[in-house]
Amino acid sequence: MPELPEVETTRRGIAPHVEGREIREVIVRERRLRIPVPQEFEDALVGMRLGTLGRRAKYLLVPVSGADSGSRALLWHLGMSGSLRIARLGDLPKKHDHIDLVLENDAILRYHDPRRFGFVDWLQGSAETDPRLARLGPEPLSPEFDAHRLHALSRKRRIAVKPFLMDNAVVVGVGNIYASEALFLAGIDPRRSAGRISLERYELLAAAVREVLAAAITQGGTTLRDFVSGTGEPGYFSQRLNVYGRDGESCRRCGAELRLVTLGQRASVFCAICQT
C-alpha cells in the first residue's frame, strides 16, 4: 500500500505538470472504485483549472476552479495499488488505467489502480471539516507532532508501541514499513507497552519517525510491487531498510538474527538485541 512518502512523492512528481492547467477532457473508463466515481465528474471538471496540489495523510487534495463554477477540491486516495502518473496525448491507456484528466498542455493525469481500492471524490467542505479527514492526527513532519504528544496520549495504554504509533489519531502516515524502521532507529522493542515508554525514549522515537520519513520522501518512497512515482519511476528507499521484510536475516548493527512477530495483525520484524 502506498504510504505517506509515496503519496508525497506522487504529489511532487505530478505538480509541475498539472498545476495551473485547464482540464480539456475527462475520460472515466471504470467508475467502480472503492467509492464510485461521481456521475457528474466529467461535466463538472471540463473547463476547470487545477490549483496547487496538497496532501493530508495519504490523501491528495486537488483544488479546481472555474470562472463560472467557483472553487471546489477533489479528494484522491490511492488505495492499495493505485498510482497517478503523467502521460502524454497519444499514449494508449493500459489495463486498469481508469481515469484520465486531459490538460491544455497535452499532458494527461492518469489514474491506474488494479485492485480498485482507491477513489476520487469531491472534498466535503474543507480538509478540517471533511469527515474523512477531520479526526486525523498531526502530520509527522509538522511541529504539532512531538515526543510530548506521544507521551501524553500513551499514558495508561497497554497497546504495543508499534500499533500505537500507526494509529492515525495519534499521528498520520506512519504505516507498517516506517513504524518498523523508526522503532529500530530509536532502539525500542515494538512489543513494548506504549504506556510504559518514557518521555526520553519518545524523544528518540519522534526524531526517528521524522528522520525515516524525510529520507524516504527524498529517495522517492519505498519500492513496493505496485508503486511508482508520479513520473513513472519506482521508489528506492527499500535499498536502505534495516528491518522491514528482513526476518531471519542478520541485524545490520549487531549481526543477530532478526525476529518476526505479529502485532495488531501486522508483521513486525525487529532485533531483540538492539531494540529493548
pLDDT at 231 over 70: no
% of the chain with per-residue pLDDT over 90:
85
pLDDT at 230 over 60: no
Q: Is the same domain home to 169 and 109?
A: no
Q: For residue 130, tell me if it sits in a domain.
A: no
Query: Each residue of 125-172: pLDDT tens digit?
Result: 999 999 999 999 999 999 999 999 999 999 999 999 999 999 999 999
Q: Is the same domain home to 106 and 64?
A: yes
Q: For residue 78, tell me if it sits in a domain.
A: yes
Q: Is the same domain home to 152 and 266?
A: yes
**The domain spanning residue 13 has which CATH number?**
3.20.190.10
Q: For residue 137, tell me if it sits in a domain.
A: no
Say what the pLDDT of residue 238 is: 55
Q: Is the same domain home to 115 and 152?
A: no
Set 24, 191, 259, 266: catalytic member:
266
How far apart, in whole angstroms, are the C-alpha atoms of residue 190 and residue 207? 16
Say what the pLDDT of residue 68 is: 76
Q: For residue 35, tell me if it sits in a domain.
A: yes
Say what the pLDDT of residue 226 is: 45
* Average pLDDT value for residue range 111-121: 96
Q: Is the same domain home to 19 and 104?
A: yes
Set 3, 8, 139, 181: catalytic member:
3
Q: Is the same domain home to 167 and 112?
A: no
Q: Is 240 a catalytic residue?
A: no
Say what the pLDDT of residue 233 is: 57
Q: Is the same domain home to 171 and 209?
A: yes
Instruction: Identify the domain boundary among 122, 137, 166.
Output: 122
121: left (phi > 0), else alpha (psi -120 to 50), else beta?
beta
Q: For residue 135, tell me if it sits in a domain.
A: no
What b/e sequence results for 221-240 when a residue is b if at least 16 CB atoms lie within 10 Å of its CB, and e otherwise?
A: bbbbebbbbbeeeebebbee
Say what the pLDDT of residue 179 is: 96
Contact 229, 221 (CB under 8 A): yes
Q: Is the same domain home to 184 and 111?
A: no
Say what the pLDDT of residue 237 is: 54
pLDDT at 70 over 50: yes
**The domain spanning residue 242 has which CATH number?**
1.10.8.50
Contact 49, 88 (CB under 8 A): no
Say what the pLDDT of residue 225 is: 44
Q: Is the same domain home to 174 and 260?
A: yes
Domain total of the chain:
2
Domain range holding 182? 147-270
pLDDT at 19 over 90: yes
Q: Is 58 a catalytic residue?
A: yes
How far apart, in whole angstroms, are the C-alpha atoms of residue 105 and residue 3? 30
Say what the pLDDT of residue 150 is: 98
Q: Is 266 a catalytic residue?
A: yes
% of the chain with per-residue pLDDT over 70:
93
Q: For residue 128, tell me if it sits in a domain.
A: no
For the ranges 26-40, 193-207, 234-248, the lowest mean pLDDT is seen at 234-248
* Average pLDDT value for residue range 26-32: 97
Q: Is the same domain home to 157 and 245?
A: yes
pLDDT at 224 over 50: no
Q: Is 225 a catalytic residue?
A: no
Q: Which residue numbers belong to the known binding site for DNA?
A: 96, 115, 157
pLDDT at 35 over 60: yes
Set 2, 5, 163, 190: catalytic member:
2
Q: For residue 106, tell me if it sits in a domain.
A: yes
Say what the pLDDT of residue 235 is: 53
Q: Is the same domain home to 118 and 151?
A: no
Mean pLDDT of the chain: 92
Instruction: Identify the domain boundary among 75, 106, 122.
Output: 122
Q: For residue 30, tell me if it sits in a domain.
A: yes
pLDDT at 116 over 60: yes
φ, ψ dihedrals at 272, nearest 5°: -70, -15
Set 49, 55, 56, 58: catalytic member:
58
Say what the pLDDT of residue 240 is: 75
Q: Is the same domain home to 28 and 111?
A: yes
